[in-house]
Every structure is written in C-alpha cells, then in structure tokens.
Amino acid sequence: MSLHTSAIERLCLRDIPLSSYSTYGIGGAANYVALPETVEDLTALYQDCQTKGLPWYNFGMGSNILFPDHPERDRVFISLKRLTELRAENGKWFVSAGTPMSMLSLMGLSGGSDQLDFTFLLPGCLGAGIYMNAKYNHRQICDIIDTVYYIDLSSSSFIVQSIPAGECDFAYKQSIFQHHPWIIVGADLKIPVHSEEQIQYMSSLVPAWKERGSHPSSLPHFFSFFLGEVHALAGKGIEAPQSMLDIIKYRTSKKHFDYPSCGSVFKNNYDYGVAIGSLVEQLHLKGTEHGGAIISPHHGNMILNQNHAKASDIQYLMQVITEAIDRKFGFVPEPEIVIV
Ligand SMILES: Cc1cc2nc3c(=O)[nH]c(=O)nc-3n(C[C@H](O)[C@H](O)[C@H](O)COP(=O)(O)OP(=O)(O)OC[C@H]3O[C@@H](n4cnc5c(N)ncnc54)[C@H](O)[C@@H]3O)c2cc1C
C-alpha cells in the first residue's frame, strides 16, 4: 500500500451490512466501516474524515444500538471494539475502550476479587459502559473507574485527555460523556493488579476474544465465549462464585442470549417506581408482534428480532409501548437504546 494511502482507504471495509455489528442483527449496508486497533489509527481516521468532510459515528459492540435500514452513504461507522488493550501499570489496570465489560469479571475471578462479578455476561465494551454507566443490580460501572481517557472531537488536534471518575457526573445510566463530543479510549480501574499469573491470563484472553468472540456482534457468540472461559478457569481450580452463577441463571431464564436484541429498550422511571418491564406486563403487551419483531414474552422491556426484523419494526413496537404507558400510567418512557 502506498505511503500516501489515506486512513479511510487503509482502515475502512466497504459496503458492509451494519447488522453484523449490532447484537440486534439489524442495519443496512454502510459504505464505510472501520475497526481501528490503536488510538493512532482512530485519530488518523478522525483527521481524514475531517479533511474530506465526511461525518462519522462511533460505537462499540452495538449491543445498545438500533442501526438504520438505510444508512447514510457518506457516514463512516467506527467501532472501537478492537481497541482492546489491558495494561498493568503502577499496580493498577488500564483497560482500553473496546474491551468487553464481561472480561473484567474474569479479571476479578483470576485475581481473587468479587468487585467485578457484576460485569459477567453484561454485553458491550467498556467505553460504552462508561458512556451509559452500565449497571447490573446495584453495581454500576462508575464504581470501578478511577480515571477516564478520552478524545475531545470538538478540538481538531484529537489529543487524548483525562478526567477523574469523580468529575464524570455519573448517575443512573448517565455520564458527562453523553453531553459532550468526547470519545472514551480507555480507563484506569480502581482494581489493583493481583499477580503475575493474573497479568498473563488477562493478556492471553484478549487475542482469544478477538479471534473467537468479537465478530460478528452476536449474543450467542458472546455467551458461549465467556461461559467457556469460566469453565476453563474451573478446570484450573478457579471456581466461579455464586454471584456469577446467579447471573447465568438470571440471564438465561430471561432468554437474553437466545434472540438478537439490544437488552432493555427503555430506561426505568425511578420516580414512578415500577420497572418498565412490569408495566408492559400489566398492559398485556408481552408477545405483541410486528413484522419480524416481538415484545419478549419473557421480559416486557425487551423487543426481540425474531425473524429478520427491520429497524422500523422495532420502532413501531417502541411506539406501541410508549403510547400505552403514557395513556395508562401518565408518563412517556425514555428510550435506553440509541437510535442511529
Ligand atoms: C441481552 C442484553 C442485556 C443487557 N443487559 C444490560 C444490563 O444488565 N445493564 C446495562 O446497563 N445494560 C445492559 N445492556 C445494554 C448494553 O450492555 C450496554 O448499554 C453497553 O454499555 C453497550 O455497550 P456497546 O459497546 O455495545 O455500545 P454500543 O451499543 O455500541 O453504543 C452505545 C452508545 O455508546 C456510545 N459509545 C460507544 N462507545 C463509546 C466510546 N468509546 N466513547 C463514547 N461513546 C461511546 C455510542 O455512540 C452509543 O451512543 C444489555 C444488552 C443486551 C443485548
């Protein structure tokens, strides 16, 4: 390749269906899709897009995104899911934005800590987990973050800056990153490095994930990779704690990995005090179908792609739920999934 090849030419796949990059399995063909593996390549892409006047869209594993059936032809779709570096530095962990959150639970397991158990089988990458302040039960991603590293896309130099977790305005499914054009590239965790064995184990996991788990963005792939790793650790005498076994039980009983989905479609309204899934159940909407989509019979706040659904089918069912909740309970639920 010539020295003058642009970053877009060098790094973009062409005419690729976005459906392979979202756990919804929905999304039409994009003209440009890039999966940079280093921050240098990521910034080179931004610079090239800026020079050529092309808009871009950043995402991770696509487990909280509804891509359009007909993406804009000019847009460069940039997934950070191959930006997966884990570094032990000064006794702490630095973790790149594309690392799956679920990998952190194995970091905890291999280091004898229960602080990271809640990330087990939580789909998506750490960058988006910080952006969304992803949570499971009462534990949130912000509990384990020390410092976040990000690129401010409004400054044309695209240099990496840092912000302490205490200044990130974390709240329920909220962070400062939702209010600024800041792209997270990694974070230091509060979790101490445990041992040389733990470092070696974690550095062997990253290439295994890249090779076997990360593509396509599919929930069965994701589930079988992390379940397999837990079994492999058990074979070495490191047994998963009850908290992780409970997560397997909960997520499999709710059929989280059986059909393409993006998890909960709406944020819970804590002022109202009843989970959206329960309200949908009270409204007898579970099992409602439209096109190839269905409101999950197992979890009222999930809409599944059961048979080649289109983005418009999912949006139709979201509208059905929104109108029914507004009519009966008097509020408009806020979407959790990001509609691109
Ligand atoms: C079966 C299932 C169960 C789920 N259960 C839970 C749960 O228990 N708790 C929970 O909180 N969530 C849950 N989710 C949702 C999902 O796990 C989280 O929202 C996760 O953080 C999404 O990560 P992602 O990499 O897939 O993000 P994407 O879907 O790729 O992106 C989501 C948003 O983050 C932005 N973004 C992505 N990367 C970055 C970055 N590096 N910097 C800045 N912005 C970025 C994107 O622009 C987009 O707006 C579930 C999803 C599924 C499919």
Helix (H, G, I), strand (E, B) or coil at 82: coil
Which tens digits make up the pLDDT trace of 324-340? 999 999 999 999 999 99
Residues sharing a CB contact under 8 Å with residue 311, sequence separation 6 or more, in sequence order: 26, 27, 66, 67, 68, 69, 339
Q: Which residues pair with 88 in a beta bridge?
A: 93
Pocket test for ligand 1, best of 85, 122, 257, 302 (most atoms within 8 A of CB): 122
Q: What pLDDT score was predicted for residue 3?
A: 54
- State the average pLDDT over residues 114-133: 97
Averaged pLDDT for residues 91-110? 97
Q: What is the pLDDT of residues 154-184, one digit of tens each?
A: 988 899 999 999 999 999 999 999 999 999 9
Question: Does residue 42 have a pLDDT over 90?
Answer: yes
Order across the sheet with 92-96: list the strands. 86-89, 92-96, 182-192, 145-152, 160-164
pLDDT confidence of residue 213: 85
**pLDDT tens sequence across 78-93:** 999 999 999 999 899 9
AA identity, residue 105: S
Q: What pLDDT, on a 0 to 100 scale, did the predictor assign at position 203?
A: 94
The lowest-confidence range among 102-106, 141-145, 152-156, 164-168 is 152-156
Percent of the chain with pLDDT over 90: 95
Average pLDDT of 245-266? 96
pLDDT of residue 139: 97
> Atom 21, ligand 1: which residue's CA is nearest?
129
What is the distance in A from the centroid of ligand 1 to the CA of 207? 22
What does the pLDDT read at residue 5?
85
Averaged pLDDT score across all residues of the chain: 96
**What is the pLDDT at residue 156?**
82
CA-closest candidate to residue 143, choices 123, 161, 166: 166
pLDDT tens digits for 204-249? 999 999 998 889 999 999 999 999 999 999 999 999 999 999 999 9
Choice from 20, 21, 24, 64 to test ligand 1 binding pocket (greatest atom count within 8 A of CB): 64
pLDDT in tens, 5-28: 899 999 999 999 999 999 999 999
Mutate to test the pocket of ligand 1, among 19, 63, 102 (most ligand atoms within 8 A of CB): 63
235: enclosing H helix or E strand: helix 219-235
At residue 1, the pLDDT reads: 53
Q: Supply the residue whose CA is at minimum distance from atom 45 of ligand 1.
A: 128
Task: Count CA within 13 A, CB hemisphere, residue 222.
Answer: 31
Domains of the chain: 7-79 (3.30.43.10), 86-253 (3.30.465.10), 276-339 (3.90.78.10)
Q: What is the pLDDT of residue 2?
A: 53
**What does 8-50 look like in DSSP terms, one character per residue?**
HHHHEEEEEEGGGGSTT----EEEEEE--SSHHHHHHHHHHHH
Residue of the nearest CA to atom 52 in ligand 1?
263
Span 306-324, pLDDT tens digits: 999 999 999 999 999 999 9
Please give the average per-residue pLDDT across 139-155, as a whole number. Answer: 97
For residue 110, pLDDT beyond 90: yes
Protein residue whose Cα sits closest to atom 11 of ligand 1: 134
Q: Which residues approach ligand 1 with their CB closer than 6 A?
A: 23, 58-65, 80, 97, 122-125, 127-129, 131-132, 134-136, 177, 183-184, 219, 256, 261-263, 338
